[in-house]
Chains A and B, each alone.
Chain A
């Protein structure tokens, strides 16, 4: 906190013509307002006068330091006047005051005392006071203070150097959310500037509006400007300057390179050509970001269905357990109350996949995208093909992601095509053309894609059958992993059917490995969200506890929202965790005769203590891997 950082040239007046204390205060407040750090001049004045009323702020030796903490002050600042003949300021030593500094401080913090202390430290030197009083210009006045501060506090870096003392670089940082990257880039650039010895000022266009805004004078004086932004920033002001325009991540990753480019004069001269130039770059750079946004729109809308449906199904299992119903294939629907919850829960689950696809489509193509997404997603759950239109092997949530994105962009393309249609047809486009053509297209696409899922499924089933004789542990790993790959798609389905078929033929160990593989993913995710909070968004963390319940109830679907929002990191973690659990279950020769039920059927699990050990081990492996793979979330 240097005095020269707080005292602006506009807030200094030498040889002020004031003849009384109140005139001096009046003048100083006026100068504070010139400095621009006062938000409410009336309030600030009231606070200054209240302070003076309690005791004079003249400290003797011709010095007076009126000051006030006030809500009328935006930022700490100083104003100064010299009064040749002095003015009676009510000093204790009776001498008139000829050197007056006024401090404005916001109502919070200790800045006030620090500024006062520093001011007093340098003002104790009589020679220094004489030099200040003898200053011919405001620049001289500031130079005297600057020299004195350098002498008293030699170690501290100056906040801002004057342009003439070195290169001067300006930068603007901005990112779409404007919470983290904007400021990370700003900090990286400032550090790099400091390290390389070039003064730099960075304007941040964050979510709270532009801060540290570049002034016209600064832009004129600067050597060049660095724009590190993923959204459009006001560019007209940089016309005719050397300028680099790049991604915000470059500002974070290679700030030194950017600064060197400006210093070496390698940057091109910017010619402002209106809107086109800036919107073009931001379109390209934020493509990945857009995909993410669409994906999250689907996931966030799906989440309530997963949570509510999952809890209902868990309640059904609980009711049947309490009722002492047999833990067989009908477990969860044996009593009427359980059947109610199980059925309703399953109905909610039925919507889950279509909702995911539908809202991805809507995010991309607005209302026309909703229909294609919904129907495409539904077709992913039925697994309809041209030969088996009522349904075959579902493609699960991976198929739904496909349907949502393909459907959404399909509709955007369709809208473009329809641009050339006669104006008279404008009205029927959204009510007839888009829905009908869109529905037909998505149906054809999904029916063409679904057989691939069927083939994968058949292949996997054959593979599993052929593995029956080989190592049981490996088979357990494969089954566990398959349960986690697509959580309801062809892999999951193949493993599950294989497990239930094995029950029918009297091999109970296989179903145990299958169920544990399906229990691990939600638990692993819940563990990761509980212990590695930084890697999950707020919404994800809030729904994490529910995932413990879902996992324990063998409701793998609980993991889908997480997997859908970050598939490349979540799925491998879940697969590995599930594979470990499945392998261990086989190793420990655990058995299970019920095809579902999770923890509620543990009573009928053979060798259940080690089954729990397998579950815990798999969940921990999955959670740790998730923690290592997932990046920190910036909200």
Chain B
């Protein structure tokens, strides 16, 4: 290869026009001042509510199809006063607590193993990766045949819906632990077991809680689905019962409660994650 002899006499490169200064809100990765951010956040909740209210009030929609926010509020208050709401709420929360708890208790150790040992990964990843694509809701008929209509089938549905995803996501979190950290721990005298407990788990914990956050939302979805199909209590049951009497205001009220509980779970887990993951900064 001969060296290039001087730079050829190319014409100057065409220049692109500099973009005009645009509001920072639209700049990629731009900062947003706290006031604007709060404004946008408010709008995100208020705007849909306003559309709902406008449609219900002036849209000439039959209130049997779309009850007004006010009517939903009253339906909710009535259900609360009758005690059904608290009863259904507790029934659903108990199922989520059991099902999600069992799923976490299975998936975290399994995920840590899969993330730490190649053998465990080779053994488990194909089957778990396959099973997670089977929609948990499709197991409902089988679960009813196997376990009946009681609590067992609902809790099992939750476990099926959560355990595979949470295992894979936990394994991913564990695989993100830098190899150098494992190596340096060994040179400081830590045994395999000590490295797992004192290095791998603490490093992966914030991401593991993140995975749980995502999957808690799924668990909350599954409990409602399970109760819609066969139950005598729970928020999903309340929805299907209200449907029979065309009580759409009650359905909406229950939906709002479901959303608020989901949000609460999310916020609590996020607070936990931020506390555990303070070191990430």
Are A and B associated in one complex? no
Residues of chain A whose beta carbon lies under 8 Å from any beta carbon of chain B: none
Residues of chain B whose beta carbon lies under 8 Å from any beta carbon of chain A: none
